[in-house]
Amino acid sequence: MEVIISETYEDMSRAAAKAVAKLLNSKPNAVLGLATGSTPLGAYKELVRIHKNEGLDFSQVTTFNLDEYVGLKKDHPQSYHYFMHENLFKHINIPPQNVYIPSGTTDNFVAFCAWYEKRIRECGGIDLQVLGVGSDGHIAFNEPSSSLGSRTRIKTLARQTIADNARFFDKIADVPIYAITMGVGTILEARSILFLANGEHKADAVAAAIEGPVTSMITASALQLHPDVSCCLDRPAAGKLKMIDYYKWVQEKHPSAPQGT
Ligand code: F6R
């Protein structure tokens, strides 16, 4: 795992957007896996800026989102469809037919989940998966105790996640209880992973994910099994990492390291 620690959220977001832009510049028809939530907002804003000011092209890009709340229509202001449209898609030149987001309103969730997995494979698999992390260590909506081999399916949200996400709704009772989510196994098949976290409230989850044992109780810890993960953290989120001096040393020595390091 590469651990990149930035002083601020803005620096972290720029580093994340730069990694996405680098991929798109070398592979214009890349397949991106995308996350919602507060964490990637700065990176999406920066990608929009690079698109507008430097011409970053999304015309051949395909995207697959991680998850969606069950029961929310696409135009619900808290749906992840709405979030992605407002914060990224309406500002860039991605063709709407290249955008895939799990349906929260399908009448056949089992068939939809199987189709979503099939569509990812048919598009050649995900080149770069952007991830945030829940305060309970979840990636996508793979709550503690989710199988590390899980595939796209319905999950019941943990009470902690419902409480964390209540800030986006008028009241906690409005937060959906179920979500459709890519599984940990689905995520681990991405060719590379960009794991983002900011804020002190994520420090425990980040430390457990990067330095703790691999366990279904912290599904982000499964990323330790993946050969190509970059963790972009701001300083508060990195605050509980035991090996922080080593990560900083690696960052410092990176420019002179042999190619491929
Ligand atoms: C969202 C998602 C979730 C969030 C996580 C952190 O698509 O997959 O795992 O990344 O809940 O959310 P924020 O960024 O709002 O703290």
Q: What is the pLDDT of residues 1-20, one digit of tens each?
A: 999 999 999 999 999 999 99
pLDDT, position 217: 98
- Indicate whether 260 pLDDT > 80: no
Q: Catalytic site residues?
A: 67, 136, 138, 143
How far is it, in rounded angstroms, from Cα 30 to Cα 61? 5
Q: What are phi and psi of 63, to 5 degrees?
A: -130, 145
Q: What is the mean pLDDT of residues 50-55?
A: 98
Tell me, using a 6 A CB cutoff, whether residue 231 lines ligand 1: no
Which string of DSSP letters, residue by residue, matches 5-61?
A: EESSHHHHHHHHHHHHHHHHHH-TT-EEEE--SSTTHHHHHHHHHHHHHH----TT-
Length, in residues, of the chain: 261
Q: What is the mean pLDDT of residues 115-138?
A: 98
- Indicate whether 247 pLDDT > 70: yes
pLDDT, position 258: 87
pTM above 0.95, yes or no: yes
pLDDT, position 255: 84
Q: Show Cβ contacts of residue 203 under 8 Å, excluding neighbours closer than 6 positions.
A: 236, 237, 238, 239, 240
Specify the pairing of strand 153-156 against strand 178-181.
antiparallel
Q: What is the mean pLDDT of residues 244-250?
A: 96
Confidence tier at 261 by pLDDT (50, 70, 90): low
Residue nearest to atom 4 of ligand 1 (CA): 132
Q: How far, in Å, from the CA of 138 to the mean position of ligand 1? A: 8
Confidence tier at 83 by pLDDT (50, 70, 90): very high
Tell me, using a 6 A CB cutoff, whether residue 67 lines ligand 1: yes
- Indicate whether 38 pLDDT > 70: yes
Average pLDDT, the chain: 97
Confidence tier at 25 by pLDDT (50, 70, 90): very high
Q: What is the mean pLDDT of residues 52-71?
A: 98
For Cα atoms 205, 211, 216, give the angle at the middle one, nearest 5 degrees.
60
How far is it, in rounded angstroms, from Cα 175 to Cα 157? 10
In the chain, % of residues over pLDDT 90: 97
Sign, CA dihedral 180-184-190-195, equals positive
The 10s digit of each residue's pLDDT in 142-169 is 999 999 999 999 999 999 999 999 999 9
DSSP structural state of residue 214: -
Which of 141, 167, 182, 200, when mutated, tests ligand 1's pocket best, judged by the most ligand atoms within 8 Å of its CB?
141
Confidence tier at 256 by pLDDT (50, 70, 90): confident
Tell me, using a 6 A CB cutoff, whether residue 197 lines ligand 1: no
Q: Cβ(242)–Cβ(211) under 8 Å?
A: yes
- For the CA of 202, the closest atom of ligand 1 is 16
Which of 32, 34, 36, when mutated, tests ligand 1's pocket best, judged by the most ligand atoms within 8 Å of its CB?
36
Q: How far, in Å, from the CA of 257 to the mean position of ligand 1? A: 33
Tell me, using a 6 A CB cutoff, whether residue 224 lines ligand 1: no
Tell me, using a 6 A CB cutoff, whether residue 140 lines ligand 1: yes
Q: What is the mean pLDDT of residues 99-117?
A: 98
Alpha helices in 166-213 (DSSP H): 184-188, 203-211
Name the 3-class secondary structure at 141. coil
Name the 3-class secondary structure at 231. strand
- Please report how many Cα atoms fall inside a 13 Å half-sphere around the Cα of residue 178, on the Cβ side: 12
